[in-house]
Structures are given as structure tokens and as C-alpha cells.
């Protein structure tokens, strides 16, 4: 006997809304795309460091092998190309997209590193690292644009805080790998070994990185009159937004602050192994491994800063950065006084320096710059901030060498104290509450 609607023995009827297969597939695709983008861009920017760390780890062996003048101006040329490339690639990234900018940039960087490893003449070194500097500058604006498309203003600080560990972990792994290759095969291996990995990740980016939900979609030619009119509106909006970013007091204040931060960061990155070897008499490999303390502290500082800036959303991100920069000044003062008292103390205090520097460094160049650039100009804003900051990176060679040789290494750290305070002061014009 069939069961009627009032049959007490009939099973309960459960009405379930089944979404169309296209909707469910779209949600799953978005989740996969988000995690793919987050992981792939993290790996990408971490891998970029393999193409730049060899020069600091192998500096002393190169000078011993080829003469102390062979690397003259190589780092300056690299950083000058990197500075120009930040702005150029930032503007380019908002036009061609993150995938092509990052993928091609990594392949060119890999080729330049391989050419550097095969050189023995100062001019060849200079040209190879000039090209490498420009190629390396595609990494931050390109990956920052990709992450801007896959984050929101509500979760950006927290997500970027974790994501930005890529350049601390990348620095740690790159230093270890370059030191490992140096110890096994000599200084040339510190360049050709990383080049292989950089090229491999560049290919993966070209194959698998996709635009995010917040990406600007421009209709293609032949899509119809309405679509082409929409494309014209999008292009005009992009131009207006890039122009706004280039005139923004907030962006320029971020850049000025980043100038001081990047001068300090690149000086420590390029010179810490050399300082530990020549001033504190560590072995070459011991100095390479000990210098990892800087990035170890940086990982903790970056994650903490990002989470803090999202938790207290009404407070400007730059306020947190300025407070940590004041603590950076304290940390640098302590390192100048205590760094030579023992290996454990040196490691701990330099890790404290890394935490207080990388926290505001990642916030200002990452989430804060992305917020300032918005949907249409995130790469431009990140490129401008990084480009201005890279002026400090260029000057670090002259500041580090000039102060340390004339006044001693301890006085150099006091210069860094002043720069940390300067960077904090530069952020004052940006202290405006964020929108809820």
C-alpha cells in the first residue's frame, strides 16, 4: 500500500536546496584559486631571494679569488636597477597582470645569475647583476598585485602578515643554500645552483597563477560595442587611479619611511656575514649561518604585525609600524652594545632587530600599500613605495662602508638608530583612522 502524505509511518520529508552545479563548481574553483595563489606567490617571492643572497654570502671568497676590486659598484648597480625597476614594473604589472610579470621576471633573473656564475671580469659581473636587479624588481609589485586580488581589506593585514614571511623564510633558505653550495663547490655554485630553482618556479607561475576575484577584467576586442565601451571606462579608471597613487601624500610618506627601513635592512642583509667574519672573527660558514638570526626574528615580527593591524581596524596600519620602528631603534642600540659579548647574545639581539624591522617593513610595503593602491593600482602603489625605499638600499653601500671604515662598526649601528626614528616620523602624515 502506498504511503500518503498523512501516513504516520512515512519517513520525514527533508527539503534541501541543491545549488546549481555551476555555483558549487565556482565556489570550489575560487577556493582552489585562492590557495593556489597564496601558496604559489609565497613560494615565488621566497625563491626570488635565491637570486640575490649569493652576493652577500660569497663576497669574501670572490674577493679572495679574483681580487678585492672585482665587485666594486656591482651591488650599487644591482640596487639602482632594482630601484628603477620597482616603479617601472609596478606600472607594468597593473597593465599586463601578475602572472606574466612575475613568471618572466624570474626566468630573466635566473639567466642573469647563471651568467654571473660564469664570469670572472668586473664588467661582466656588473652587467649580469644590473640585469638581475631589474628582473628581481618584478617580484614584489607583481606578487603584491596577485595577493591584492585574492584578499580583502578586512583580512589583508592578517593574510599578508603570514604571506610576507616569504621574504624572511626566503632569506633564511637562500642564505643556507648559498652557504651550503659555497662549502661544497665554491663561490660560483652560490649563483648557478639557485638559478636552476628560480627558473623552475618561474615556469610554475606562468602555468598556474590565475587572476583573483578582485582582478580587473577587460573585455577583449570583438566582444561587442557595449563591452568595448566598458573596456574604455576600465582603461580610463586605471589611468586615473595610477595618477592618484603617484600624487598621493600617503604613498610618498610610506615611501620615505621605507627609505630608512630598506637602508637598514639591505645593509644588514649584505654586510652582516662580512661584519661577523671581519669584526667579530667568526668563520666564513659560521658567519653565514649566524646571520640567519636576522630573518628568524623577522618571521615572528611579520606575523605579529599583520595580525595586530587587522585586529584593531580603526587604528591606522602605519601607527603600528611607527611604534615598532621606535622599538627597532632600541633593538639596534642594544645590538651595538651587546652584539660582541657572545654568540647566543648576538643571535637573540639580532633576532629582536629582525622582528622590529621586518614587521613594519612588511606592513608598509604590503597591506598598507595595497590599501592605498586599491583595486586598480595595487602594483603601482607597491612599486612606488618599494622604488623610493630602494634609494635607501642603494645608499647602504656607501653608508655602511663609509661609516664602518672611518668610525667603526659600532657607530654604524647608531646611524641605524637615527634612521629607525626617521622612518617612524615619516609616517605621521598617514595617521588617519581607517574606514570601518
CA distance linking residue 55 with residue 49, whole number of Å: 11
pLDDT tens, position by position, 107-151:
999 999 999 888 877 788 889 989 999 999 999 899 999 998 998
pLDDT tens, position by position, 326-354:
999 999 999 999 988 889 999 999 999 99
CA distance linking residue 362 with residue 321, whole number of Å: 9
Using CB atoms within 10 A of its CB, is residue 361 exposed (0-12), middle (13-18) or buried (19+)?
buried
Q: Where do the domains of the chain lie, and which CATH numbers do they carry?
A: 31-212 (1.20.1250.20), 248-435 (1.20.1250.20)
**284 has a pLDDT exceeding 80:** no
**54 has a pLDDT exceeding 90:** no
DSSP state of 213: T
| Helical pair 249-278 and 293-311, crossing angle rounded to 10 deg | 160
Say whether pTM exceeds 0.85: no
Q: Which residue has the cell 509511518?
A: 9
Q: Strand, coil or helix: what is 164?
A: coil
3-state helix, strand, coil split of the chain in percent (to 5) is: 80, 0, 20
- Alpha helices (H) in 150-209, listed in sequence order: 156-163, 166-185, 189-208
| Least confident stretch, 93-107, 164-178, 239-253 | 164-178
Highest mean pLDDT among 37-46, 209-218, 290-299, 424-433: 37-46
CA distance linking residue 436 with residue 420, whole number of Å: 30
Q: Exposure pattern of 408-419 as b/e (b: 16+ CB <10 Å)?
A: ebeebbbbbbeb
73: left (phi over 0), alpha (psi -120 to 50) or beta: left
pLDDT score recorded for residue 433? 66
Give 290 or 252, the one with higher predicted confidence. 252
User: What percentage of the chain has pLDDT greater than the value 90?
Assistant: 40
Nearest one of 247, 206, 367, 230 to 302, comparing CA atoms: 367
**1 has a pLDDT exceeding 80:** no
CA distance linking residue 387 with residue 223, whole number of Å: 37
Give the three cell numbers for residue 34. Answer: 585562492
pLDDT score recorded for residue 20? 46
User: What percentage of the chain has pLDDT greater than the value 70?
Assistant: 89
Amino acid at each position: 500500500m502506498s504511503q500518503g502524505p498523512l501516513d504516520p509511518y512515512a519517513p520525514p520529508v527533508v527539503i534541501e536546496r541543491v545549488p546549481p552545479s555551476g555555483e558549487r563548481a565556482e565556489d570550489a574553483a575560487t577556493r582552489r584559486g585562492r590557495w593556489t595563489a597564496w601558496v604559489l606567490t609565497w613560494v615565488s617571492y621566497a625563491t626570488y631571494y635565491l637570486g640575490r643572497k649569493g652576493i652577500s654570502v660569497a663576497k669574501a671568497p670572490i674577493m679572495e679569488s679574483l681580487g678585492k676590486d672585482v665587485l666594486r659598484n656591482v651591488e650599487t648597480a644591482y640596487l639602482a636597477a632594482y630601484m628603477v625597476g620597482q616603479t617601472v614594473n609596478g606600472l607594468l604589472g597593473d597593465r599586463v597582470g601578475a602572472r606574466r610579470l612575475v613568471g618572466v621576471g624570474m626566468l630573466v633573473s635566473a639567466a642573469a645569475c647563471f651568467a654571473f656564475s660564469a664570469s670572472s671580469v668586473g664588467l661582466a659581473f656588473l652587467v649580469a647583476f644590473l640585469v638581475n636587479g631589474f628582473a628581481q624588481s618584478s617580484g614584489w609589485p607583481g606578487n603584491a598585485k596577485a595577493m591584492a586580488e585574492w584578499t580583502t581589506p578586512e583580512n589583508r593585514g592578517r593574510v599578508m602578515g603570514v604571506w610576507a614571511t616569504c621574504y624572511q623564510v626566503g632569506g633564511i633558505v637562500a642564505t643556507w643554500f648559498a652557504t651550503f653550495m659555497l662549502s661544497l663547490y665554491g663561490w660560483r655554485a652560490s649563483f648557478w645552483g639557485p638559478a636552476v630553482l628560480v627558473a623552475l618556479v618561474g615556469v610554475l607561475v606562468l602555468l598556474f597563477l590565475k587572476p583573483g576575484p578582485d582582478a580587473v577584467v577587460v573585455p577583449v576586442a570583438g566582444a561587442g560595442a557595449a563591452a568595448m565601451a566598458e573596456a574604455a571606462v576600465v582603461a580610463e579608471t586605471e589611468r586615473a587611479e595610477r595618477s592618484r597613487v603617484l600624487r598621493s601624500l600617503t604613498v610618498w610618506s610610506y615611501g620615505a619611511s621605507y627609505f630608512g627601513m630598506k637602508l637598514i635592512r639591505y645593509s644588514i642583509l649584505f654586510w652582516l656575514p662580512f661584519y661577523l667574519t671581519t669584526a667579530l672573527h667568526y668563520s666564513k660558514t659560521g658567519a653565514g649561518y649566524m646571520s640567519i638570526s636576522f630573518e628568524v626574528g623577522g618571521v615572528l615580527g611579520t606575523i605579529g604585525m599583520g595580525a595586530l593591524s587587522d585586529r584593531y581596524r580603526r587604528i591606522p596600519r602605519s601607527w603600528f609600524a611607527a611604534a615598532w620602528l621606535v622599538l627597532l631603534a632600541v633593538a639596534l642600540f642594544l645590538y651595538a652594545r651587546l652584539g660582541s659579548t657572545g654568540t647566543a647574545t648576538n643571535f637573540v639581539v639580532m633576532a629582536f632587530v629582525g622582528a622590529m624591522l621586518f614587521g613594519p617593513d612588511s606592513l608598509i610595503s604590503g597591506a598598507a600599500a595595497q590599501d592605498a593602491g586599491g583595486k586598480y593600482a595595487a602594483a603601482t602603489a607597491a612599486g612606488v613605495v618599494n622604488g623610493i625605499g630602494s634609494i635607501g638600499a642603494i645608499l647602504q653601500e656607501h653608508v655602511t662602508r663609509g661609516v664602518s671604515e672611518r668610525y667603526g662598526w659600532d657607530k654604524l649601528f647608531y646611524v641605524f638608530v637615527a634612521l629607525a626614528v626617521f622612518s617612524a616620523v615619516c609616517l605621521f602624515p598617514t595617521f588617519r583612522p581607517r574606514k570601518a
